[in-house]
Amino acid sequence: MIASDFSMSHLTQKLIFIVLLVLSGGLFVAAAQTAPVPMNGQLSFIAQVDNVSQLFVVDTEEKVIRQVTTGVNSIESVSWSADGEQVAIGNAIEDVTLLDIADNTEIPVPNSRFLVNLDWSSDGQFLIGVDNSIITYVDIASDVRTSVPLSQFPPGYFAEQPTWSTDGSQILFSSSGVNPVPFALDGLPNTDLYVVNRDGTELAMLSGLNGGQFGGLGWLSDREVIFSATLVRDARLIRGVFKYDLQTESLTLLTDPEVASRSPVIAPDRTKIAYIEGATRIMVMQLDSLETEFIVDFGRAIRGLKWQPRLISDVTPTPTACADC
């Protein structure tokens, strides 16, 4: 069940204010202030250039956007190595490639063809993704490819956005799971979030999440996860970025439900998150104070937000400012 202290704090406003909104079902929404958020590193995202999806980065201090890739195949998803020196790129056509940021060399990952929704384990050993809705990971050193068995699910299920836990022993993912039913209010598929061990054992559904459109799945710690979603509460849709405690099953809404917020990503120091507001704006939130800061407005739709663990000082090809991209 959802804990009765379901809450949301600190909306994106320039003036300090307090708002209390009481929703049916015992949901309480509070709002407060915005202030500068200490930054580190860069954020990356995917956007289209001449109908091809390319990778971009934005420095969180200078707030300058640079284009990293210029390939002819659209990028579907990326994931950064723990040291930020390489980025894994999947395009659903070829093997995943590892792009070395310093010298712009590309190294294919054998046996990784068609993998998207990528996530790189913190120890650097495994790349996980989905291939035709099957959760699959590749050992980068040995090139061994392994599908995670989900025998509890019926034929025809889909799985998306697998994400490694902080120690790499568990996987958080979204799926139609064991009960794919229509999403009553807007006709979208109803999905749930699950946690499973790497070998497919001890599958557990996160309790009380009635909704769908999950995105930006990530582990704050071994007991807390972050995601964006559209959830149903007493015939109302509640949209935003959420934090969920796996032990207490409590759910906290972090963003303004009146403003479209999605695709959260956790900073390397785990003290803040970035997320996409609307379709084009990037925001950063400090998790202890829930203060937010506007980073940049790209002007066109973006997706695939990630936080690179270190600052990119030199990107080859020479990065260009993106006022006209």
SS3 for 44? strand
- Mean pLDDT, range 209-225, rounded to an integer: 88
Q: Which token pair is 243? A: 């934090």
Q: Residue 212 pLDDT > 80, yes or no?
A: no
Higher pLDDT, residue 160 or 152: 160
pTM of the model: 0.83
Q: Which of 168, 169, 129 is nearest to 145 (CA)?
A: 129
Q: Residue 277 pLDDT > 60, yes or no?
A: yes
Give 90-125 pLDDT, tens digit per residue.
988 889 999 998 888 999 999 999 899 999 999 999
**pLDDT value of position 26:** 35
CA-to-CA dists, residue 200 to 83, 134, 147, 151, angstroms: 28, 12, 9, 8
Give 44-102 pLDDT, tens digit per residue.
999 999 999 999 999 888 888 999 999 888 999 999 998 889 999 998 888 999 999 88
Q: Residue 245 pLDDT > 90, yes or no?
A: yes
List the domains of the chain with CATH numbers.
Answer: 37-308 (2.120.10.30)
Q: Average model confidence (pLDDT) for the chain?
A: 81
One-letter amino acid of 241: V
Strands 251-253 and 7-8: parallel
Give 126-139 pLDDT, tens digit per residue.
999 999 889 999 99
